[in-house]
Chain A
Amino acid sequence: MFSIEVKNLTKKFGQFTAVDNISFTVKKGSIFAFLGPNGAGKTTTIKMLTTLMDQTSGEMLLNGFNPRTQSNEVRKTFGIVFQDPSVDDELTAYENMEIHGVLYKVPNSILKPRIEQLMKFVELWDRKDELVRNFSGGMKRRLEIARGFLHHPKILFLDEPTLGLDPQTRNHVWNYIKKLNQEEETTVFFTTHYMAEAEKSATEIAIIDKGKIIIQGTPDELVKKTGSENLEDAFIAITGHEIREEEANSVDGMRLQRRMWTRK
């Protein structure tokens, strides 16, 4: 039984091919690491899987549903922690959690205790009524993660979930992910730049570079195939030493403009 099936998936932006004819499957209840250098096509793939972007060609199925034609069914089955911020910083931490719970139709009797439990878990409960605007980067990240866990999805997408978190919090968050994975058979699909994290937690790994999946297997298989000592060396052996550029986004410019327009 597969949670995710992808066949010949391609995404082009004009002349540029971001995702180039990739195929893979993710078994139900597995922890799948989707690794690759910056700009390899990881986030684009996640956007297509999570109904945010249409593919140029190819097929996808999530729990048997097609993200393009059955987007509402697909949206009911997954949860996602995005790579970049997606909390409303003009609302309080609690309100952000509450909106998420209502959008995902978590029953009221479950919602309130679970919000409390998760916010205590990421140690934000005592600041629940503060505007997210006043939070540090790490606190916002913790809030996003807690929010992603709120509705206990069947598939959990985590796009660099632990970016910017200290080792203690990273460890803490991974324990929770594994607990969800074991107790509820949640399928986890994650990306990360911390190879140790993938080596320790993933049951399966796919490495993508320049839009193509280069190699796939268990962490041990990847290390053995490349004759490396650990996953980090294997990753470098596979993708090379060249440093990749990612396109700059305009959020910083926007921040400045928003201050002008909202007259604060």
Chain B
Amino acid sequence: MNAIYILWLRQIKRYFRSRARIVGSLGQPLLFLVALGFGFGPIFEKAGGGNYIQFLAPGIIAMGILFTAVFSGIEVIWDKQFGFLKETLVAPVSRFEIMLGRTLGGATVAIFQGVLVFLLSLLIGFRPELSLLPVAIVFAALIAIFFTALGTALASMLDDMQGFQLIMNFLVMPTFFLSGALFPMQGLPPAVAAIAAINPLSYGVDGLRGTLVGGAHFGLFTDLGILSIVTILSIAFGSYMFSKIRV
């Protein structure tokens, strides 16, 4: 066994032991699917957009992954406050290995959460195309790793949970709402379109939508290329910030 594996395993164990957290974090995606899916469905269809649940579900799956991933990254703050981080920081293991183990663990958990939202959306009436499912999982993994590493980077700069609200309200929520998860990218006002175009989650949502229902706005290869690049950058940024932690 090595350090990366044991720290990955730790994240997995912690996740599966807090069933309340798993169930709790399904509440929000379910609410969005039901309220928005059924609420805007008739208008969306009248406007010629087709079935809104089909359109919305990949966006909500991305949301489930996004929230869980950021939260997993943010857990570094808990470990800082409760002391376990010190235990890993004095060990003869490079900071990069520690960061990678934690991030992969957090990302695995986020992917699993995405799968749960996917299953939930099937109950609501989502009927996906399954031929590209493996590619969809690659997109899910990239979204998960990107945001877990980003959460780790941000958490490395913070000393306590006071900054958590800030991250949720000024980063996570805008990232979600301005990503094309809820609305089509065609015909947007230029400002919104520009923000969506520089938002990494847009490419994740687009990739999931392209693989699960078809009709990617940017094209699957563009999605995959951009998402891969930003994920590598985010791991680099995350491990740099993590290596700067002083406790």
Contact = CB atoms under 8 A, between A and B. Distances in A.
Interface of A: 47, 50-54, 72, 75-76, 78, 80, 82, 84-91, 95, 98-100, 102-105, 108, 131, 250-251, 253-254, 257-258, 261-264
A263 B246 contact: no
Given A104-B92, A250-B160, A82 B86 contact: yes
Given A53-B246, A75-B90, A263 B82 contact: no
Main secondary structure of the interface of B (DSSP, over half): helix
Contact of A264 (B1, B18, B82, B246): B18
A90 B92 contact: no
Interface string B12-49: 01100110110011000000000000000000000000
12 contacts: A52-B89, A75-B93, A84-B83, A87-B83, A99-B6, A99-B7, A103-B6, A108-B1, A131-B17, A251-B81, A261-B161, A262-B20
A31 to B, nearest CB: 21
Contacts of A80: 90
B82 A251 contact: yes
A262 B91 CA distance: 28
Interface residues of B, number: 35
B205 to A, nearest CB: 26
Given A52-B246, A86-B84, A254-B161, A102 B13 contact: no
Contacts of A53: 246-247
Nearest to B23: A263
Interface of B: 1-3, 5-7, 10, 13-14, 17-18, 20-21, 24-25, 78-79, 81-84, 86-94, 160-161, 164, 246-247
Contact of A72 (B13, B17, B87, B92): B92
A103 B246 contact: no
B63 to A, nearest CB: 17
B87 A86 contact: yes
Contacts of A258: 78, 161
Given A85-B82, A100-B87, A251-B82, A263 B20 contact: yes
Contacts of A47: 247
Given A98-B6, A103-B3, A254-B161, 5 more contacts: A75-B90, A80-B90, A90-B17, A103-B6, A264-B21
